[in-house]
Chain A
Amino acid sequence: MKYSGFSLLKNALQGHRNWPGIVPQKRPKSSYKTIIIGAGGHGLATAHYLARNHNITDVLVIDRGWIGGGNTGRNTTIVRSDYLLNASFELKNFALQLWKSLSQDLNFNLMYSPRGYFDLAHSDGELEDFLSRANAMRLSGAQAEILSCAEIAERIPGIYLGKKARFPISGALFQPDAGVVRHDAVAWGFARSASKAGIDIVQNCAVTGLSVTNSRICEIDTDAGSIECDKVFISAAGTSSHLAQMAGVSVPMELINVQAFVSEPLKPVLDTVVNYNAGLSYLSQSDKGELVMGGATDGYISSARRGSFSSIEDTVTRAIQLFPFISHLRLMRHWSGSADIPMDGNAIVGGTPVDNLFLNCGWGYAGFKATPAVGWTMAELLADGKLPAMLQPFALSRFESGALIDDAGIGPYPWLH
């Protein structure tokens, strides 16, 4: 069924009781050409682009949980591409271009809202650093502006720019076409499109083993029995390293908890996305009026998806520095996710020492924004067997060759997890 004004009107007249399901419940077949492990945004986007761009539909997407139940449904929905280094910038900026027309492509309302993103600087030195990042972005064709405090005050009423703050604001890098996208809709939109094209999506079915012979995986073991396959693509965020280990591939990353929360609903007060950089606290307002807030990691290894109170307190304290009027608000909901972070803080995408095993993980808490670009490029790799130029810097082999991606500009400091 195609969603349209007409279908909405028709179903409204029937009391919205007859909408068809989005993704049918399936049992896996005994063999597939390509198996994607992980039904999050990245895995489902890959399935969608395999069908859309390469006409490959003999594909299974399998997940131990439910669609988009991992980090896809646990982030703060921000999409942006304000990165300094070409490797990080290009992939995320390509994604930003795809987000713009993705609702139309998927015939699914992703509630894409390019409301702009303010990255705040707290010293003149930091602002100079942002200026070099803004210039790098502009040289690569993206929009970026450096704003003074007066310009910030004009665009964000309610923000505290006084000098009494613990870390006063000295300016901002503003990316006008960054914004937010409804995260659950992304998972469901890609799942619906892939499933309509004939790709099987199996939920609540764990992968328990990958059998390797002669450096190839010919079969995977699951809760629903063994399934033969030609190619396997692991896109399972934090569980990826454990899955890769089943095939004897070791992946240098750790799991660290990240928390996010929403306040009680307010009238519209914030029509953009703001990031406080002394520590970390990023805020936006949802369509329901809640302020959506996220912070840095809890800082220690954790797969509990349950974090420390001290990092909630830190994030909220920073948010109140920015917007003192929110100090009386209560938090309504709170959640966490396990961020998978390699030692240089950048993703691991591409092939592995096992010939037909491909990997996409290590996105930490920066993966949501890259979703369509990862899907697009991984589909190309799975279809043609050639690693797209955009993915080359993210190869697993960089940890052997030493070509780490140093976005923070702090040199060979392998401790970003």
Chain B
Amino acid sequence: MLLIPCPHCGERDQSEFHYGGRSTRSPDPGNTSETIQEIWYHQAGCESWIEICRNPNNHEIES
């Protein structure tokens, strides 16, 4: 389960969000050691799109 840091609402459960995918193109999407830039829509919260940087291999989120 992801806890996503929303700049307006604080850390919120991932189920409140809708996934928007990558915000930058990756030349090597299979490389799982690098973190990815992605956008999430806080549907059940403040309704804003937020951008986070997440490691898809261990789900750590850098803010």
Contact = CB atoms under 8 A, between A and B. Distances in A.
A, B bound: yes
Interface of A: 238-245, 250-255, 299-304, 306, 308-310, 340, 415
B32 A303 contact: yes
Nearest to A301: B56
B30 A238 contact: yes
A245 B27 contact: yes
Contacts of A302: 56, 59
Interface of B: 1-2, 13-15, 19, 21-22, 27-32, 36, 38, 56-59
B29 A254 contact: yes
A245 B1 CA distance: 30
Given A308-B1, A310-B14, 20 more contacts: A238-B30, A239-B30, A241-B29, A243-B30, A245-B28, A250-B28, A253-B29, A253-B30, A255-B30, A255-B56, A301-B29, A301-B36, A302-B59, A303-B32, A303-B57, A308-B2, A308-B15, A309-B1, A310-B13, A415-B21
A59 B9 CA distance: 57
B1 A299 contact: no
B19 A300 contact: yes
Nearest to B31: A242
Nearest to B36: A301
Contacts of B29: 241, 251-255, 301
A242 B34 CA distance: 12
Given A308-B14, A309-B1, A310-B1, A303 B56 contact: yes
A304 B30 contact: no
Given A241-B30, A242-B30, A310-B1, A304 B59 contact: yes
Contacts of A240: 30
Contacts of A253: 29-30
Contacts of A239: 30
A240 B30 CA distance: 7
Contacts of B31: 242, 245
A245 B30 contact: yes
26 contacts: A242-B31, A244-B30, A245-B27, A245-B28, A245-B31, A251-B29, A252-B29, A253-B29, A253-B30, A254-B29, A299-B19, A301-B29, A301-B36, A302-B56, A303-B56, A303-B57, A304-B57, A304-B58, A308-B2, A308-B14, A309-B1, A310-B1, A310-B13, A310-B15, A340-B30, A415-B21
Given A310-B1, A310-B15, A242 B57 contact: no
A254 B38 CA distance: 13
Nearest to A240: B30
Nearest to A243: B30
